[in-house]
Amino acid sequence: MGNQPRLVIDGLRASVEGKEILQGVSLDVKGGEVHAIMGPNGTGKSTLASAIMGHPKYEITGGSVTLDGEDVLSMAVDERARAGLFLAMQYPSEITGVTNADFLRSAINARRGEGNELSLIRFIRLMEAKMKTLEMDPAFAHRYLNEGFSGGEKKRNEILQMMLLEPKLVILDEIDSGLDIDAMRIVAAGVNELRSEERGFLIITHYQRLLTYIKPDVVHVMMRGAIVKSGGPELVERLESEGYDWVKEELGIEDETVGKEPEVKMPMNTIAPRH
């Protein structure tokens, strides 16, 4: 029990570019649990992930986030990571001139802390072993970070980082997008291998297939920047077969998205200018 982490999100509100996106999100994820957040595009899922990780564009306007009781929101991004948070991003950055291996080594050593760095040899052994598990071409170690990687290669590289950094609380944002079935199996195996009492997962996806490989304990549906429904794994099956319309109907939601610019409607009686 002592090592079981716990992420508590309470009434989290966040805005981007002056638009309020998160409308009070609350979640409680403990070590050993896998929570899935599902929802159509544009409902605020990535915003939630970014707000937890501390992306500078997202302004927190209310609520709290704690990891093992510590206030996450007052930490800098790198402190959050060193505290044990990990976010596999929907759109990882490409960085020219920084090799994947140099980056991974810097990240591991940052997590391990000064005086406890991994020797180059041991690092290479570790990296190569994990790359093998993920069936990644060893050449990716020497390529510039994410530069010229296909969508699927970027996703594998995110999972590689997760495996090397061994975080306490993992958020996977659309890790399944851009993956074919084989790749998804490999990625899911990587995630399942890390499942333990010492680690919690928050898996964001807008479709169901990944969740047949990674069985969630709790499933949440996000719409309009809030969790509108929570349930067990059976919720995945219902969404799979029936889509999201029944949820919207049940809750009286017409447009599930959030933060959209008001639509500009053309007046009906406009006459096109003559030339």
Binding site for Mg ion (CB under 5 A): 45-46, 90
Applying CB under 6 A, among 4, 8, 16, 217 the residue interacting with ligand ADP is: 16
CB of 49 to another protein, least distance (A): 10
Contact region for ligand ADP (CB under 6 A) — 11-19, 114-122, 154-162, 181-189?
Answer: 11-19
Helix (H, G, I), strand (E, B) or coil at 228: strand
> Whole-number minimum distance, CB 97 to ligand ADP, in Å?
25
Distances (CA, A) of 197 to 13, 203, 268: 29, 16, 60
Separation between Cα atoms, residue 173 and residue 150, nearest integer Å: 17
**Binders in 211-270 for ligand ADP, by CB under 6 A:** 257-260
| Token couple for 42 | 């544009």
Cβ at position 39, least distance to ligand ADP in Å: 6
Cβ(158)–Cβ(49) below 8 Å:
no
CB-based contact 82:114 (threshold 8 Å): no
Question: Which among ligand ADP, Mg ion, another protein, none contacts residue 18 (Cβ within 5 to 8 A by kind)?
Answer: none
Going 207 to 212 to 213 to 215, the CA torsion angle's sign is positive
189's enclosing H/E stretch is helix 181-194
Burial class (CB in 10 A: 0-12, 13-18, 19+), 73: middle
Q: Which of residues 134-173 bind another protein (CB under 8 A)?
A: 144, 161, 165
Element at 248 (helix H, strand E): helix 245-251
Residue 205 binds ligand ADP (CB under 6 A): no
Shortest Cβ 4–another protein spacing (Å): 21
> Contact between 80 and another protein (CB under 8 A)?
yes
The least CB distance from residue 198 to another protein, in Å, is: 18
Query: Which CB sits closer to another protein, 116 or 269?
Result: 116
Q: Is 92 in the site for ligand ADP (CB under 6 A)?
A: no
Which positions ≥6 away from 38 have C-beta within 8 Å?
Answer: 204, 205, 206, 207, 208, 219, 220, 221, 222, 236, 239
Q: Is 95 in the site for another protein (CB under 8 A)?
A: yes
Q: Footprint of ligand ADP on residues 25-84 (CB under 6 A)?
A: 39, 41-47, 57
Residues numbered 41-60 forming contacts with another protein, rule: CB under 8 A: 53-57
Which of 204/223 has CB closer to another protein? 204
| Positive or negative torsion for Cα 92, 97, 101, 105 | negative
Confirm if 224 and 23 have CB atoms less than 8 A apart.
yes
- Interface residues toward ligand ADP, by CB under 6 A: 16-17, 19, 21, 39, 41-47, 57, 257-260
Q: Which residues would be at the binding site for another protein (CB under 8 A)?
A: 53-57, 76-78, 80-82, 86-87, 89, 92-93, 95-98, 102-103, 106-107, 110-111, 144, 161, 165
